[in-house]
Amino acid sequence: MYIESVNLGIDHIGTGLLQHLGIKYSSDGEPYEIEQLVCQYNNFMDDMNFNYAGGVDAHFSVDHLVPNQSTYLYKSDDGFGRMFAMATDNYRAISSSVVFGAIKNADSLNTKPYFMAEMINFLLGVTTITSTGELVENEAVSVVNYPNPFTDVTNIGFTLQESSKVQLDIYNQIGQLIYTVADENMSPGNHVKTWNATNRSGARVNKGIYFYKLTMGDQVDSGKILLMD
């Protein structure tokens, strides 16, 4: 179960809902008090941070909640609990006093699709081999592709440990070069390149399976991309 509301606590105070979610209401919030959400839960979404783009009037005041039987999933930069994970023998729940639609990426690799995927894994009881943070930080698995499948634009993110010549090419199923996304020298750090499903002539390609090939110095990584209508 996933439940959210900017006033989750005060809206449901006096009911049994908060008890089932493993949280309790502490106090009312102030308008636009959140700037950034910071992960607190080990092995859930390690190192993932998000900015929060709520409104500026009283409607967007966000309740201060504290865990009862649940675990902090996210806190805000002001130190208050904003999301909580609850797991029992009978059910799993994630409660959020912030609105998912008002969350925006705080950096290039920490993305909302991964956020949702990890929440779904938790709710379904799926244990992934590595956390998202480990994927991003692991030099041997330094490439992430999202969304995939995609319809309009897909992103290919990667981390460079040192300055390198980077080439990113897109190929079709028979090995023909479709598009060169990048061919340049890049500095160390996180990078994201975008392919908008076009070929070298600028025309949109047909739906189907494509492959990216990313060369970063001596390291080569490749993967499958599914373009849908």
| Letter string b/e over residues 40-49, b meaning 16 or more CB atoms within 10 A of that residue's CB | bbeebbbebe
User: Does a structural domain hold residue 133?
Assistant: no
- Model confidence at 126: pLDDT above 50: yes
Q: Which helix (H) or strand (E) holds 225?
A: strand 219-227
Residues 33 and 71 reside in one and the same domain: yes
User: Which tokens go with 33?
Assistant: 């008090």
- Percent of the chain exceeding pLDDT 90 equals 18
User: Does a structural domain hold residue 136?
Assistant: no
58 pLDDT band, cuts 50/70/90, is: low
84-88, 104-108, 142-146, range with the lowest pLDDT: 104-108
Residues 90 and 17 reside in one and the same domain: yes
Which pLDDT tens digit goes with each residue over 190-224? Answer: 888 999 999 999 999 999 989 998 988 878 888 88
User: Does a structural domain hold residue 137?
Assistant: no
* Whole-number average pLDDT of the chain: 81
Tell me the backbone φ, ψ of residue 112, rounded to 5 degrees.
-60, -35
Please tell me the pTM assigned to this model. Answer: 0.53
Q: Which of the listed ranges 20-24, 90-94, 181-185 does the model predict with the highest average pLDDT? A: 181-185
Full residue range of the structural domain in which residue 88 is found: 2-124
Residues 16 and 120 reside in one and the same domain: yes
User: Does a structural domain hold residue 117?
Assistant: yes
Residues 7 and 106 reside in one and the same domain: yes
- Model confidence at 141: pLDDT above 80: no
Predicted pLDDT of residue 68? 86
User: Which tokens go with 17?
Assistant: 């809902």
Distances (CA, A) of 45 to 28, 61, 135: 27, 25, 11
Who wins on pLDDT, 199 or 13? 199
Q: Please give the tally of structural domains in the chain.
A: 2
Who wins on pLDDT, 183 or 30? 183
User: Does a structural domain hold residue 14?
Assistant: yes
User: Which tokens go with 64?
Assistant: 């201060």
- β-strand pairing of 2-4 with 92-96: parallel
User: Does a structural domain hold residue 138?
Assistant: no
Predicted pLDDT of residue 78? 76
- Model confidence at 228: pLDDT above 70: yes
Residues 104 and 202 reside in one and the same domain: no
- Model confidence at 128: pLDDT above 60: no
Predicted pLDDT of residue 97? 86
Which pLDDT tens digit goes with each residue over 161-190? Answer: 888 899 999 999 888 999 999 999 999 888
Q: Prior bond to 149 cis, omega within 30?
A: yes
Strands (DSSP E) along 29-173, which ranges? Answer: 36-39, 49-52, 64-67, 71-76, 81-87, 92-96, 103-105, 143-146, 154-160, 164-171
Residues 111 and 164 reside in one and the same domain: no
Residues 106 and 218 reside in one and the same domain: no
Predicted pLDDT of residue 81? 84
User: Does a structural domain hold residue 20?
Assistant: yes
Residues 170 and 118 reside in one and the same domain: no
Predicted pLDDT of residue 196? 95
135 pLDDT band, cuts 50/70/90, is: very low
* CA geometry: angle 102, 150, 105, nearest 5 deg: 25
Q: Which helix (H) or strand (E) holds 190?
A: strand 189-195
Predicted pLDDT of residue 20? 86
Distances (CA, A) of 128 to 2, 5, 30, 131: 20, 28, 37, 7
User: Does a structural domain hold residue 90?
Assistant: yes
Q: Among the residues of 1-127, which ranges form H helices? A: 8-11, 17-21, 112-124
Sheet of 219-227, strand order: 177-186, 164-171, 208-216, 219-227
Tell me the backbone φ, ψ of residue 225, rounded to 5 degrees.
-125, 135
| 28-47 average pLDDT score | 73
Residues 20 and 118 reside in one and the same domain: yes
Residues 150 and 111 reside in one and the same domain: no
| CATH code of the domain covering residue 187 | 2.60.40.1930
Which pLDDT tens digit goes with each residue over 107-117? Answer: 655 677 777 87
Residues 198 and 150 reside in one and the same domain: yes
> CA 10, CA 30: separation in Å to the nearest integer?
13
Cβ atoms < 10 Å from Cβ of 180: 12
Residues 24 and 89 reside in one and the same domain: yes
